[in-house]
Amino acid sequence: MKKVVVVGIGTGVGKTFISTILAEALEADYWKPVQAGNLDYTDTAFVQQHISNKKTYCHPEVYRLSAPMSPHAAGEKDGINIELEKLAVPPTKNHLIIEPPGGLMVPLNAKKLNVDLICQWNLPVILVSKNYLGSINHTLLTERVLRDYAVIVSGIIFNGEPNPATEEAILNYTGLSCIAKIDHEPEISKKTVMKHADQLREKLNLLSS
């Protein structure tokens, strides 16, 4: 696997939680290149709080924006123009989990979207879906954009309450493989992250071999 980008189908689908599980399972580094809002408790801080291994290193954000808005709007509010050239993947000999700020079609500036940044990196993606009314549509649309941009998708992770009919439809229409199904956790802790990481580790090692 080495380096992979974790992409969600929308807001609140749990891609930071999934990124934490992946980082724990692989003892991988983590990087959130742009943080918009919640600077007192960033996604990087969440990962650091819930990781148990001593190998994971969280690379610092390149942009820390004050408002919880789309990066282009948050940057404008702070008087900052996000430059994709400054968002080069940090060097590491370790596996690296990258979490972009928002979904594929979220603008980073007036001309470029998250998907353009992923193409710049030329890295594979793990797609995170969550079962809710409309999630089939959102997942298929996200997968279609990735396909149109020729981004390699390593597989999909379903997060939250299971819905076999929805999951079957998504896998059927996208042709993606299911990496994991992560059940809803009423409380997220180091223990729950470790539990899912232990269950996922063998499959992730096969993907990275």
Catalytic annotation present for 190: no
**pLDDT over 80 (residue 170):** yes
High-pLDDT (> 90) share of the chain, %: 94
For residue 121, what pLDDT is reported? 98
pLDDT tens digits, 88-101:
999 999 999 999 99
Q: How confident is the model at residue 208 (pLDDT cuts 50, 70, 90)?
A: low
Q: What is the CATH number of domain 3-208?
A: 3.40.50.300
Contacts of 57 (CB under 8 A, 6+ apart): 29, 30, 92, 94
SS (H, E, C) the chain: CCEEEEEECCCCCCHHHHHHHHHHHHCCEEECCEEECCCCCCHHHHHHHHCCCCCCCEECCCEEECCCCCHHHHHHHHCCCCCHHHCCCCCCCCCEEECCCCCCCCECCCCCEHHHHHHHHCCCEEEEEECCCCHHHHHHHHHHHHHHCCCCEEEEEEECCCCHHHHHHHHHHHCCCEEEEECCCCCCCHHHHHHHHHHHHHHHHHHHC
* Catalytic member of 15, 32, 93, 203: 32
For residue 209, what pLDDT is reported? 57
What is the overall mean pLDDT for the chain?
Answer: 95
For residue 190, what pLDDT is reported? 96
For residue 1, what pLDDT is reported? 64
